[in-house]
Amino acid sequence: MPLLKFDVGKVFQSLVGQSEATIRAMAKTAEAVAPVVLWIEEIEKSAAGSQSSGNSDSGTTARVMATLLTWMQETTKPIFFFATCNNVDAMPPELYRKGRFTEIWGVSEPDSAERAEIWSIKLKAVRPQGYGSAYDYKALVDASFMYTGAEIEVAVENAMFDAFDDGREFETSDLVNAINEMKGQYITSKTQIDRTRDWMKKKVRMVSETELLSADEQTIRDGWNDIREIREE
C-alpha cells in the first residue's frame, strides 16, 4: 500500500477556521487514495498545547486535534493509521485509547540480534559490494550495547571519516572506537528514558520479547564508566 506522511505542522493556518478546513481536506485526500498507510510522526508534538489551547490560540489546536481524532475513529475507509511518539508524557489520554489505535507498542533499545541486523543494514548501505562480510559483527554488537539504530548509523559515518582521514578503508576497530567515543542517549537522557521504559512496561505491549533488562544489563546502564570498564575486561 502507498505511504502518506502527515505533517500536522502544515495544517495550521493564519485565518480563523482555515486550519480545521485544511485537516478535513487532508482526510478527504487520504480517503480518496485508500487503501493507504497514514504515518503521523511524533504525534505528541501535534497534540501538545491542546489542553491549554483555549488560552493560547483561541482553541485552534484543540479543534484541529478533535477533528483528527474523530475522523480516525469514524472513517470507514481502509486507512491504516501509524504514529510514532518519543515523549509519552506529552500525550493526552484520549489520543491512545482503543478505537483510535488498535494497539500501542513499546520500542526499547535493540537487543543483540536486532543490533546485528542494524549493523548489517548500515554497512551494506555504504559498502554494498561485499565489504559487509569483512567486519566482526560480534565485536560490533558487544560494543554497541544499549545503542539505538540512529546512533549506530552515526558511528559508521564517524568511522568512515576517521579512516579516510588516514587514507585507508575503515575496519571493525574504527567502528568500535567510534562507538566507544560516543555517549549514547541512554546516558545523556537516562532519567527520561527510564521513565518512558517504566511507562511502557505498565501500559503497552513491547515489540521485543526481552522487555525487561537482566540484573547485569541494569548494572551496565548505571553509568558510562561502568560500561567502559566492562568492555576493557
Could you list the pLDDT tens digit for every one of the 233 residues in the chain? 899 988 777 776 556 567 777 888 888 999 999 999 999 888 887 666 555 444 445 567 777 788 888 888 888 999 999 888 888 877 777 777 777 788 889 888 898 899 999 999 999 998 877 554 688 999 999 999 989 999 999 999 999 999 999 999 899 999 999 999 998 888 888 888 888 888 888 888 888 765 444 444 555 545 544 555 555 55
Burial of 188 (0-12, 13-18, 19+ CB in 10 A): exposed
Residue with cell 565489504: 131
Cβ pair 206, 104 in contact under 8 A: no
48 and 126 assigned to the same domain: no
86 and 164 assigned to the same domain: no
Q: How far apart are CA 101 and CA 47, in angstroms?
A: 15
The answer to whether the pTM exceeds 0.75 is no
97 and 121 assigned to the same domain: no
Q: How far apart are CA 125 and CA 146, in angstroms?
A: 22
Last residue of a domain, one of 68, 102, 136: 102
133 and 40 assigned to the same domain: no
118 and 78 assigned to the same domain: no
137 and 98 assigned to the same domain: no
Last residue of a domain, one of 50, 67, 102: 102
71 and 53 assigned to the same domain: yes
Last residue of a domain, one of 102, 129, 158: 102
Mark 95-131 as b/e (b = at least 16 C-beta within 10 Å). Answer: bbeeebbeebebebbbeeeebbebbeebbeeebeeee
172 and 210 assigned to the same domain: yes
119 and 230 assigned to the same domain: yes
CATH number for the domain including 52?
3.40.50.300
- CA-CA distances (angstroms) from residue 100 to 68, 71, 72, 79, 97? 10, 9, 6, 12, 6
